[in-house]
Amino acid sequence: MDVAELADGDPAEVALDNARRKALAVEVEGEGQVVLGADTLVALDGRTLPKPRDASRAREWLEALSGRNHRVVGGICVRAGELDTAVVATDVRFRALDDATIAWYLDSGEWRDRAGGYAIQGRGAALVERIEGDYLNVVGLSVAALAGLIPGLLERPR
């Protein structure tokens, strides 16, 4: 499945729209199947910092995030007959990043295919000063929000 991710517009609306389009792109065979669509965006000053296309753009994103607060917005869409959706926002503050730290992170290659050009669950954790909200949302999927959309998800099988 290849669904183009939108980046322009209100970050919460864009994340939710991307998640919805991903969930709807999956062909369902029969009843009772559950499809999950999810999208994570990094927003700074009201604009989205999508996945960087190259190291130069990743450097630009990291320099823009350096020493600043930004918001990570996750859109979730569960398709089980009906569509159920959630949006989760987590505030993240980056440490002030010097050129050596940015070069170290870029050399890791971890920035590839990552909204905002970083991955908090890897080396990108060294870039972060603090977060307020759901850590797993920053990783890419809020388990708490997902559990709220799928009753019984966390129940133990009998």
Question: What digits encode the pLDDT tens for the residues 62-106?
Answer: 999 999 999 999 999 999 888 999 999 999 999 999 999 999 999
Would you say the C-alpha torsion 129, 133, 138, 144 has a positive or negative sign? positive
What are the structural domains, with CATH classification, of the chain? 11-149 (3.90.950.10)
What is the structure's pLDDT at 105? 98
What is the structure's pLDDT at 1? 66
Active-site positions? 39
What is the structure's pLDDT at 158? 64
